[in-house]
């Protein structure tokens, strides 16, 4: 749940964006279901309970991630459209003030008043380009891609499910939660490392460092969940 929980500004297009979404969903899906299952393994005696809880988490997490991501993408789109309408209205109704705002963008980079005026004069000739400029350079808003948001949410949600099933699969083929935990940990740590490596490659980060980070987050979360669940289970 780490990567897209943060406001990274990474631009990837086409298949690269698709691959990034897969890796994000899968690496995130590996972490929390793995940690939840590990936590329960120290506290309950039945694999069926670990599996049921893990499945419930995967369903909940993928819906929160997928549906939440989709709705957030729509909100972003609405926000962009309303700002766009506002900019068009402002360019129409208070052009002098808008010209002042363009000048301000360049004043901070030390451009002369003469050059500022020249820029504004030429920019204001084409209303659409002027508004485009304001959207991007005054407000810092890029046109969101609606299909991208929807596809991205679906890809991440599905990858979260697949990622989550990896740590959980160990509990299907073992007899006790303890056995399940051992296999699950080995399998998941390997996958976290591979996904961390791959994810860092795709996002242009040092791959080994990235792989270690992703793996450490997973191990820390699982160890903490294990300890806290054990303590709670003793108290209850």
Distances (CA, A) of 114 to 103, 117, 120, 154: 10, 5, 10, 50
Q: Enter the tokens of residue 85.
A: 């309408």
Q: Which C-beta is closer to its own copies: that of 94 or that of 224?
A: 224
Touching its own copies, residues 158-217 (CB under 8 A): 204-205, 210, 213, 217
Site map (CB under 8 A) of its own copies, residues 74-93, x = contact = -xx-xx--------------
18, 207 contact by CB (below 8 A): no
Q: How far apart are CA 104 and CA 81, in angstroms?
A: 24
Touching its own copies, residues 8-27 (CB under 8 A): 8-11
Q: Which of 61, 163, 167, 180 binds its own copies (CB under 8 A)?
A: 61
Q: Which of 20, 22, 23, 39 binds its own copies (CB under 8 A)?
A: 39
Q: Which of 16, 85, 89, 137 binds its own copies (CB under 8 A)?
A: 137
Q: Which stretch binds its own copies (CB under 8 A): 12-20, 93-101, 179-187, 226-234?
A: 226-234
Distances (CA, A) of 112 to 72, 123, 141, 183: 41, 16, 26, 67
Q: Which of 90, 101, 132, 138 binds its own copies (CB under 8 A)?
A: 132
Q: Which C-beta is closer to its own copies: that of 148 or that of 183?
A: 148
110 Cβ neighbours under 8 A, 6+ residues apart: none
* Least gap, CB of 154 to its own copies (angstroms): 14
* Least gap, CB of 204 to its own copies (angstroms): 8
- Helix, strand and coil percent figures for the chain, each rounded to 5: 85, 0, 15
């Amino acid at each position: 749940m780490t990567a897209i929980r943060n406001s990274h500004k990474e631009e990837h297009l086409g298949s690269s964006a698709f691959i990034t979404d897969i890796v994000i969903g899968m690496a995130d899906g590996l972490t929390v279901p793995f940690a939840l299952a590990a936590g329960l393994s120290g506290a309950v005696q039945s694999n069926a309970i670990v599996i049921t809880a893990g499945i419930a988490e995967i369903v909940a997490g993928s819906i929160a991630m997928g549906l939440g991501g989709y709705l957030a993408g729509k909100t972003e789109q609405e926000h962009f459209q309303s700002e766009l309408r506002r900019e068009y209205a402002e360019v129409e109704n208070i052009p002098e003030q808008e010209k002042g705002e363009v000048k301000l963008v360049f004043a901070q980079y030390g451009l002369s008043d003469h050059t500022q005026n020249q820029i504004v004069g030429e920019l204001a000739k084409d209303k659409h380009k002027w508004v485009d400029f304001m959207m991007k350079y005054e407000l810092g808003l890029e046109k969101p891609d609606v299909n991208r948001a929807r596809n991205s949410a679906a890809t991440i949600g599905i990858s979260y499910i697949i990622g989550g099933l990896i740590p959980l699969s160990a509990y299907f083929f073992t007899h006790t939660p303890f056995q399940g935990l051992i296999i699950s940990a080995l399998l998941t740590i390997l996958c976290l490392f591979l996904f961390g490596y791959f994810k860092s490659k795709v996002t242009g980060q040092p791959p080994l460092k990235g792989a270690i980070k992703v793996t450490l987050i997973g191990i820390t979360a699982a160890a903490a969940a294990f300890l806290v669940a054990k303590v709670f289970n003793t108290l209850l």
